Amino acid sequence: MIHSGNASGDALVQLHRGVRDEAAAEPAAAATGPVTKETQIIAIYGKGGIGKSFTLANLSYMMAQQGKKVLLIGCDPKSDTTSLLFGGRACPTIIETSSKKKLAGEEVAIGDVCFKRDGVYAMELGGPEVGRGCGGRGIIHGFELLEKLGFHKWGFDYVLLDFLGDVVCGGFGLPIARDMCQKVIVVGSNDLQSLYVANNVCSAVEYFRKLGGNVGVAGMVINKDDGTGEAHAFAAQAGIPILSAIPAHEDIRRKSANYEIVGIPGTQWGPMFETLAMNVADAPPVRPKPLTQDQLLGLFAGDVVGRNVVLEPATVFDMVGRNDVAKPSLEVVYDTV
């Protein structure tokens, strides 16, 4: 019995020593060259409603037509990433399917959660209903289920992850924080809010690079580009390339609203998405240079963002409706010798 106790104690000491050695080790230098892994895992971030799902549905479709094996994973609690790809049909989510299978005492199979169209494979992680759970925690749980299904063994050329960029909790930053992807793409437009989100994503990437992470920003897709130039100016200052500028065109808007794919070879918009697919594949991950708040506001005219407004400090009278008389302190202060 004593021998067993000593052995257990020695093992514990070795475990602690190993943990200390691991913590003391210097992290590997951040990668700056082109992606070399066989499977490119790319996380796409942007403000809600900016057009990530539209961009990804058409991008993944074009990649498949070019002979690539593509997996599109929706990581938005709205579960609408794959709607355009499937012509407006809802895709059963991994979280919802897992819950139903668990109640029935059954295991989740690939065919329960992954569906395909014209060479594109797609699935939705899903999320909780409003007020019934944390969306970020749902993302983490969804990826845990993916790992059980063999996510890291799947043989895809590209895995595209659709993430909300205007949610700052840990689950939505998972690919960046845990080096789950090699590079990030931001989707924005010529408006302050979408560029604010894009800048936040760049800040997150730079933060984790300083901690030894290897994820970089491959570039920016400008959606609904009206030619005013703010998004181009942002990308130039942040040091990231423009991968594509999708125009604010009525034909694109109408077809997107009708759940039609426009990124089809040989069509009007085919060349644009062919170029985007090539740029996404070849763009190396780079360290961005996030803008300060003043620099971000400086991209827009003063009458747009209200920079002519003066910040006027509030007073006690404003808060309580009266001016309190300052009373002398009863504190005893001793002179120091």
Active site residue 100: no
Q: Which of 8, 261, 293, 232 has the alpha carbon at shortest distance from 122?
A: 261
User: Can you give the pLDDT at residue 265?
Assistant: 95
From the candidates 80, 157, 166, 191, which is the catalytic residue?
166
Residues β-bridged to residue 70: 120, 158
The model's confidence at residue 77, banded by pLDDT at 50, 70 and 90, is confident
Active site residue 37: no
Q: Among the listed ranges 99-108, 155-164, 236-245, 326-335, which one has the minimum average pLDDT value?
A: 326-335
Tokens 């009708």 identify what position? 258
What tens digit of pLDDT does each residue of 252-266 get? 999 999 999 999 999
Helices 94-103 and 135-148, axial angle in degrees (round to 10) = 70
The model's confidence at residue 1, banded by pLDDT at 50, 70 and 90, is very low
Q: Among the listed ranges 10-14, 115-119, 286-290, 307-311, which one has the minimum average pLDDT value?
A: 10-14
From the candidates 52, 183, 224, 255, which is the catalytic residue?
52
Label the pairing between strands 120-124 and 70-74.
Answer: parallel
Contacts for 61 with CB less than 8 Å, ≥ 6 apart: 85, 117, 118, 120, 261, 263, 264, 273
Q: Which residues span the domain enclosing 287? A: 40-299
| Spatial distance between the Cα atoms of 273 and 30, rounded to a whole number of angstroms | 30
Active site residue 282: no
Task: With beta carbons less than 8 A apart as the criterion, state whether 123 and 76 touch.
Answer: no
Asked, for residue 3, whether it belongs to a domain, the answer is no
State which H helix or E strand residue 244 sits in: strand 242-247
> Between 288 and 35, where is the model more confident?
288
User: Can you give the pLDDT at residue 91?
Assistant: 85
User: Can you give the pLDDT at residue 142?
Assistant: 75
> Between 5 and 232, where is the model more confident?
232
Asked, for residue 112, whether it belongs to a domain, the answer is yes
User: Can you give the pLDDT at residue 288?
Assistant: 94
Task: With beta carbons less than 8 A apart as the criterion, state whether 234 and 188 touch.
Answer: yes
Per-chain mean pLDDT for the chain: 83
Domain count, the chain: 1
Asked, for residue 89, whether it belongs to a domain, the answer is yes
The model's confidence at residue 302, banded by pLDDT at 50, 70 and 90, is low
What tens digit of pLDDT does each residue of 215-244 get? 999 999 999 999 999 999 999 999 999 999
What tens digit of pLDDT does each residue of 147-202 get? 888 887 889 999 999 887 666 565 567 777 777 789 999 999 999 999 999 999 99
What tens digit of pLDDT does each residue of 80-97 get? 788 899 998 888 888 888
From the candidates 47, 183, 224, 255, which is the catalytic residue?
47
Asked, for residue 227, whether it belongs to a domain, the answer is yes
From the candidates 69, 78, 101, 116, which is the catalytic residue?
78
User: Can you give the pLDDT at residue 138?
Assistant: 63
Asked, for residue 172, whether it belongs to a domain, the answer is yes
Taking the C-alpha atoms of 71, 72, 75 and 81 in order, what is their torsion angle to the nearest 10 degrees? -160
Res 309 pLDDT > 80: no
What tens digit of pLDDT does each residue of 36-50 get? 458 899 999 988 889
- Residue 228 sits in a domain whose CATH number is 3.40.50.300
Asked, for residue 331, whether it belongs to a domain, the answer is no
Active site residue 52: yes
| Spatial distance between the Cα atoms of 322 and 278, rounded to a whole number of angstroms | 66
The model's confidence at residue 336, banded by pLDDT at 50, 70 and 90, is low
Region 60-74 average pLDDT: 94
> Between 23 and 82, where is the model more confident?
82
**Model confidence, pTM:** 0.77
Asked, for residue 58, whether it belongs to a domain, the answer is yes
Region 279-288 average pLDDT: 94
Asked, for residue 5, whether it belongs to a domain, the answer is no
